[in-house]
Amino acid sequence: MNQKDKDKWIFIINPVAGNGFAKKYAAKIEEKIVEYNVNANTVFTERKGHATELAKEYANNGFKYIIGVGGDGTLNEISAALVNNKNVAMGIVPAGTGNDFIQILGFPNRFDDEHWKIFFEKSTILMDVGSCNGVYFVNGMGLGFDAQVASENYTKDGKEKKGGKDKYLWHIIKTILFYREKKMRVVNNGQSYETECFINTVSIGRRFAGSFFLTPNAIANDGMFDVCQIKRLSLFKRFDLLLKVPKGTHINDKKVNYYQTNEINLDFPVEVPFHVDGEMHYSSKFHIKITPQAINAIYNPYGNHYFKN
């Protein structure tokens, strides 16, 4: 860029993302702002939900590009303030731990010089946004095994339990061994049925927990959710299917019900944990719907993004 970018940018940095990596990365952000002659400010979040407040404030004050620096939780908060505001573009500089959302946009988990150049080209695309009980998500939400593992590490108000990270592998093993599927009623396209699921994922993106491609066929702007419902499994079958998930080949198994929908309702007899873009929540009833092409996102048109042309 030869002359200064006239559009106003704000980089919203979550200092605790990536175990503090995002805070250290702030110096790199400032360096790139100068290198690419961008009309930008930076600001740090101070608490849970603060990124939503900041994104709304800066969008209302005429900022064209609202960029999160952090992980999926940071991006989720920012996107919640920008749904249906197509005059503003959302972006993410990945600085979290899992960074599942970034692969939708065609960027890697960490930027190198090439990706910074592409990022500041400002190519944008409209993508879908989901909501579960009024809570927005841009990657996906899930119930069952993965949500139970997460609930072992976090309290109901979203705080990490003492020793949570050190015990994460133990929580995975324990949940594989002892998790008991719960009955749920599914209402989809006018049809209602009962089932018991080991995993129930409703998504716009493809990847969860860094390497699990639970919905490997998902397209982020087709106006449809991809749903992966893995039925009740024996202990052996749990290990068998979980080993297939990183490659996405689990969807060929007869124990997996994989389909698309734009709205679905789930009903449990008891309250259960669920995650929305990695953030923990609890409920017994779920109303999940999609809003097509509701948010404008910076993406890499040259990378392996998950959008239809």
* Segment 34-79, tens digit of pLDDT: 999 999 999 999 999 999 999 999 999 999 999 999 999 999 999 9
Q: What's the CA gap between 256 and 242, in Å, rounded?
A: 12
Identify the CATH number of the domain defined by range 135-291: 2.60.200.40
pLDDT at residue 279 in the model: 87
Beta strands in 2-152 (DSSP E): 9-13, 40-44, 65-70, 89-94, 124-132, 135-137, 140-144
* Predicted structure pTM score: 0.91
pLDDT at residue 218 in the model: 97
H/E segment holding residue 57 = helix 50-60
Q: What's the CA gap between 60 and 112, in Å, rounded?
A: 31
pLDDT at residue 1 in the model: 47
CATH 3.40.50.10330 in the chain, residues?
9-122
pLDDT at residue 155 in the model: 61
Burial of 199 (0-12, 13-18, 19+ CB in 10 A): buried
The one-letter amino acid code at 168 reads Y
Identify the CATH number of the domain defined by range 9-122: 3.40.50.10330
pLDDT at residue 150 in the model: 81
Beta strands in 164-262 (DSSP E): 183-188, 191-203, 225-231, 256-261
Collect all residues with Cβ–Cβ distance below 8 Å to 162 and sequence separation of at least 6.
none
Beta strands in the chain (DSSP E): 9-13, 40-44, 65-70, 89-94, 124-132, 135-137, 140-144, 183-188, 191-203, 225-231, 256-261, 263-276, 279-298
Decide: 240 and 158 in contact? Cβ < 8 Å: no
CATH 2.60.200.40 in the chain, residues?
135-291
pLDDT at residue 165 in the model: 54
Residues of the chain scoring pLDDT < 70: 1-5, 154-168
Q: What's the CA gap between 38 and 111, in Å, rounded?
A: 17
pLDDT at residue 169 in the model: 76
pLDDT at residue 160 in the model: 62
Q: What's the CA gap between 47 and 151, in Å, rounded?
A: 20
Please give the angle made by the CA atoms of 156, 295 and 282, to the nearest 5 degrees: 15
What number of other Cβ atoms are within 10 A of residue 89's Cβ?
23
For 9, half-sphere exposure in the C-beta direction (CA atoms, 13 angstrom radius) is 26
Q: Cα 56 from chain centroid?
A: 19
